[in-house]
Amino acid sequence: MINIGVFKFASCDGCQLSFFEIVEEILKIGDINISFFLEAQSKNRFDEFDISFVEGSISTPEDIELIKKIREKSKKVVTIGACATSGGIQSIRNYLNYKEILEYVYPSPEYINSLEKSHPSSDFIEVDYELRGCPINKKHLLEVINSFLLNKTPNLPRYPVCLECKIKGNPCVLVLGKPCLGSITVAGCGSICPSYNRGCYGCFGPIEKPNIEHLQEIFKEKGFKGDMFEDILTSFNAYNRTYREQYEKES
Ligand code: SF4
Ligand code: SF4
Ligand code: SF4
């Protein structure tokens, strides 16, 4: 029997919904028990887990305690989605004045006990696999589950969106004058956005060694308004470690 846990931290719940979309396939895999999944069932047991899936960013002191507890109880931990792997949209605040934001958003900020920054789980625990996307792709989730059960590395793309885009024969929207992050963003979505004639805005997060400076130069040459790097930061994977390091280098 394989015991699975599905956990949520600060998030919109969109990635967890992928489990509902592949529930039949999961049941076909065999002897699987989901003992913890608050969104899906009323009876839950915090147990020893073979695989724990974690959605959402770590945003409160309690979250830090819980993610560490999940790590202790789990053989494998897989983070799912931009929130859990990169801090998510909510990590836009990480580059702004936290106190000012609190005062702006809440009438009584003294009652708020959140962390100054929104973190990926990997800031606090060792993570066995990061599944990217906002939201994740259900086929990728199934591949990860199958792979962990078979004790193999998930066979998911590591190359950029541009490759998928070219295979599809899309005209390059960047060449045609629209900002596109496809060259530094990891593939897996089927290059959906360029296929509909708009630029990739990087929801799958960066490839392993993105040439950010080069793309930044192209954006400048094209005369796009604003700062490309700021644009990356103010999107889905704002606190991804690669972007974070680049930001720190620039500031
Ligand atoms: S990664 Fe996107 S879809 Fe998934 S929980 Fe976060 S905001 Fe929602
Ligand atoms: S449209 Fe974007 S993803 Fe497609 S080839 Fe051009 S830069 Fe790459
Ligand atoms: S093209 Fe880019 S922004 Fe659009 S879904 Fe794919 S990774 Fe996300």
Rounded to whole angstroms, how far apart are CA atoms 18 and 20? 5
Full residue range of the structural domain in which residue 184 is found: 161-250
CA diameter of the chain:
57
What spacing in Å lies between the alpha carbon of 137 and ligand 2's midpoint?
A: 20
Ligand that comes closest to the CA of residue 237: 1
Q: Is the pLDDT of residue 142 over 90?
A: yes
Does 9 fall in a domain? yes
Last residue of a domain, one of 104, 123, 149: 149
* 172 falls within a domain: yes
φ and ψ at residue 213, rounded to 5 degrees? -60, -40
Ligand 1 pocket member 163 (CB < 6 A): no
Same domain (yes/no): 68, 139: yes
Question: In sequence order, what are the residues at sequence separation of 6 or more whose Cβ sits closer than 8 angstroms to the Cβ of residue 28?
Answer: none
pLDDT of 233 reads 67
Is the minimum distance from the CB of 161 to ligand 3 under 6 angstroms? yes
Q: Is 156 inside any structural domain?
A: no
Q: Are residues 194 and 96 located together in one domain of the fold?
A: no
**Which of the listed residues 159, 164, 166, 184 should we mutate to test ligand 2's pocket, taking the one with most ligand atoms within 8 A of CB?**
166
Residues sharing a CB contact under 8 Å with residue 9, sequence separation 6 or more, in sequence order: 54, 55, 56, 57, 58, 59, 63, 66, 67, 83, 84, 121
- pLDDT tens track for 31-66: 899 999 999 999 999 989 999 999 999 999 999 999
For the cut 80, the answer to whether the pLDDT of residue 232 exceeds it is no
* Average pLDDT value over all residues in the chain: 93
Pocket test for ligand 3, best of 200, 215, 232 (most atoms within 8 A of CB): 200
Confidence of residue 135 (pLDDT cuts 50, 70, 90): very high
- Same domain for 168 and 119? no
Domain-ending residue, one of 128, 149, 170: 149
Peptide bond into 135 cis (omega under 30): yes
- Residue 109, domain member (yes or no): yes
22 and 101 within one domain: yes
Half-sphere exposure (Cβ direction) of 224: Cα atoms closer than 13 Å? 21
Same domain, 200 and 104: no
**CB 173 near ligand 3, within 6 Å:** no
Cα 186 to ligand 3 centroid, rounded to whole Å: 9
Q: For the stretch 36-46, what's the b/e string if a residue is b when 16 or more beta carbons lie within 10 angstroms of its beta carbon?
A: bbeeeeeeeee
Closest ligand (CA of 179) = 2
Whether the predicted pLDDT of 122 surpasses 70: yes
pLDDT-based confidence at 26, cuts 50/70/90? confident
Whether residues 50 and 121 fall in one domain = yes
Q: From CA 247, how far away is CA 251, in angstroms rounded? A: 6
pLDDT greater at residue 71 or residue 247? 71
- Cβ of 185 less than 6 Å from ligand 3: yes
Tell me the CA distances in angstroms from 129 to 43, 147, 169, 248, one per residue in order.
27, 11, 31, 25
Q: Per the domain annotation, does 36 fall within a domain? A: yes
Number of domains in the chain: 2
- A 10 A CB-CB count for 215 gives 20
Q: CA 48 to CA 2: how far, in whole Å?
A: 10
